Amino acid sequence: MPKAKRWYTITPQYVFGDGLLSAAKAIFKEKGIEHVGNGYHSLNEKEFSGYLTNAVAAKPDVLLILNFGSQSSDTLRRAVSFGMKNNCTILMAWASGLEQFESFGADLCEGVYFGARYWHDIDSPLNRDLVKRSNAAFKANPNYSLAGSYIGAKILLDGIVKAGNVDPKKVIAALEGMKYDGLTGPEEVRKRRPSGAEELLSVKGQGEEQDEKRRRLRGYRELRPIVPAARQDRLQNGLIGIVQGALGQRWYDVTVHGMEAHAGPTPMELRRDALLVAADLIHAVNRIALDHAPHGRGTVGWLDVHPNSRNVIPGRVTLTVDLRAADGASLTVMDSAFRAACSLAGEKSGITLDVEQVVYFPPQPFAAELVGAVKQGADTLGFSSMDVISGAGHDAVYLTRVAPAAMIFVPCKDGISHNEIEDARADHLEAGCNVLLQAMLSAAQKAGSAGA
């Protein structure tokens, strides 16, 4: 791909992903390639539409997928559904081999470049021995699953032997930095680096030294340009959203199990159309959110239709559901209503539905004292203000676990936020910063008075 000069990466945010990204950046520098962006995601991420929306906006020549396992599969499927194969080259750096290729199917794999994690003809002493043992035991070459299990078990056993103990902490200490002959040649166990969030959250309740660090973290304030458009007309002089807290969230993965059949010969009354049932659920999610206005939210943001063929009745549909509400009681009622809608859809259609809740974030009120300081700062500066609830999760939500927190919102053009095209006026941002400054000065004065 000599003409591919603009690359975008999707990376899991932990030591393995960082290693791949660092290696990629070194190659970019060597080859004169422009790295036009990177989407970092957690190891628990299941929805990649937002990351790929940013990737599409960057207009890369190559999308380099650096995650792995089900996350790489989900990323590739979503990238193809976004039409990225038509506009750029897709390269999956860490594919698991034949099993993953077979799950994709030939149409999806066509034109995509894959880097295999493991291949049985790698010429290393350990791999030659594994291939020999696998053929003797199973009459087949090892695949990635077998090779990964084998090397994982071997490394762990080597660590136990080196530690002379089975205590987990001692084994980890023995493994960190250990060099060994792996399936692909000489390898090393890298020491894990905790993320910034983990280091921050480790402050909570871990001895006198950590408690002292926690005491030093007196509070957290965050400024965001995201007052919704529907409420901007109430900010006559433009300005400050006093954030009372953040919506609670429940996320679900739903699978609808129908039956594939040819679109032509199958009469309408005999069909078990999984997509039709999924459509009913989408309507139900929307209705449930509207029943809990103004703060209820209901979103189906992702669907995977199988086999996704023009002339085949869908036999399986997987979809994600995101429900949000401002208080725990409303969110519980919405959860019950959604589950009832799933049960009713299954009964009416004779189709089985699997529903799994995968995320629960309770509603998070912010510290009353800090919220009051934001309100006082706006009043002092003569800015109009209104109480708002944050619909999205922000850093402030997580910081409440270890310190009081508050947020300040200012308007975005057309109410569009969390989007590449979001735009806020400079004078609105200045106003928000000045309110933040007032809140910080108030906190400093109180701290000084308490110290005196």
Within a domain: residue 211?
A: no
Are residues 410 and 391 both part of a single domain?
Answer: yes
Give me the domain span that covers residue 397.
Answer: 220-246+365-451
Within a domain: residue 275?
A: yes
Strands 405-411 and 240-246: antiparallel
In this predicted structure, what is the pLDDT of residue 164?
A: 92
Within a domain: residue 106?
A: yes
In this predicted structure, what is the pLDDT of residue 320?
A: 93
Token pair listed for 435 = 């309110």
pLDDT beyond 80 at 116:
no
Are residues 107 and 11 both part of a single domain?
Answer: yes
Distance CA 158, CA 162 (A): 6
Q: Which of 94-98, 162-166, 290-294, 335-339 has the lowest mean pLDDT?
A: 94-98
Are residues 232 and 301 both part of a single domain?
Answer: no
Last residue of a domain, one of 116, 140, 164: 116
pLDDT beyond 80 at 236:
no
Are residues 34 and 12 both part of a single domain?
Answer: yes
Question: Which one is predicted more confidently, 102 or 425?
Answer: 425
Are residues 236 and 258 both part of a single domain?
Answer: no
Could you tell me the CATH number of the domain that includes residue 431? Answer: 3.40.630.10
Percent of the chain with pLDDT over 90: 41
Are residues 427 and 299 both part of a single domain?
Answer: no
Asked whether 49 and 33 are in contact (CB, 8 A), the reply is no
Question: Which one is predicted more confidently, 136 or 119?
Answer: 136
Give the HSE-up count for residue 307: Cα atoms under 13 Å, Cβ half-sphere: 14
Are residues 20 and 91 both part of a single domain?
Answer: yes
Q: Which of 186-200, 223-237, 254-268 has the lowest mean pLDDT?
A: 223-237
**Averaged confidence pLDDT in the chain:** 84
Total of domains in the chain: 4
Are residues 232 and 337 both part of a single domain?
Answer: no
Are residues 224 and 253 both part of a single domain?
Answer: no
Are residues 357 and 252 both part of a single domain?
Answer: yes
pLDDT beyond 80 at 311:
yes
Percent of the chain with pLDDT over 70: 86
Last residue of a domain, one of 361, 379, 398: 361
Within a domain: residue 158?
A: yes
**Residue 11, amino acid:** T
* C-alpha pair distances (Å), 10 with each of 21, 31, 304, 327, 412: 9, 20, 20, 34, 27
Within a domain: residue 229?
A: yes
Give me the helix-helix angle, 125-138 and 144-163, nearest 10°.
120
pLDDT tens digits for 185-218? 788 887 765 544 444 444 444 444 445 544 555 5
Q: What are the DSSP calls for 359-391, one per residue?
A: EEE--EEPPHHHHHHHHHHHHHHT--EEEEEE-
Strands 385-390 and 297-306: unpaired
In this predicted structure, what is the pLDDT of residue 222?
A: 60
In this predicted structure, what is the pLDDT of residue 115?
A: 82
Asked whether 383 and 432 are in contact (CB, 8 A), the reply is no
Q: Which of 101-105, 240-244, 338-342, 395-399 has the highest average model confidence (pLDDT)? A: 338-342
Are residues 242 and 266 both part of a single domain?
Answer: no
Average pLDDT over residues 13-21: 80
Distance CA 386, CA 375 (A): 9
Last residue of a domain, one of 361, 395, 412: 361
Within a domain: residue 213?
A: no
Token pair listed for 18 = 């960082």
pLDDT tens digits for 377-405? 999 999 989 898 988 877 788 777 778 88
Distance CA 3, CA 114 (A): 19
Question: Which one is predicted more confidently, 85 or 234?
Answer: 85
Q: Which of 55-59, 212-216, 245-249, 282-286 has the highest average model confidence (pLDDT)? A: 282-286
Could you tell me the CATH number of the domain that includes residue 314? Answer: 3.30.70.360
> Residue 226: which pLDDT band, with cuts at 50, 70 and 90?
low
Quick check: bond before 404 cis, omega within 30?
no
Tokens 């089985």 found at: 352
Contacts of 268 (CB under 8 A, 6+ apart): none
Are residues 226 and 259 both part of a single domain?
Answer: no
Within a domain: residue 356?
A: yes
Within a domain: residue 207?
A: no
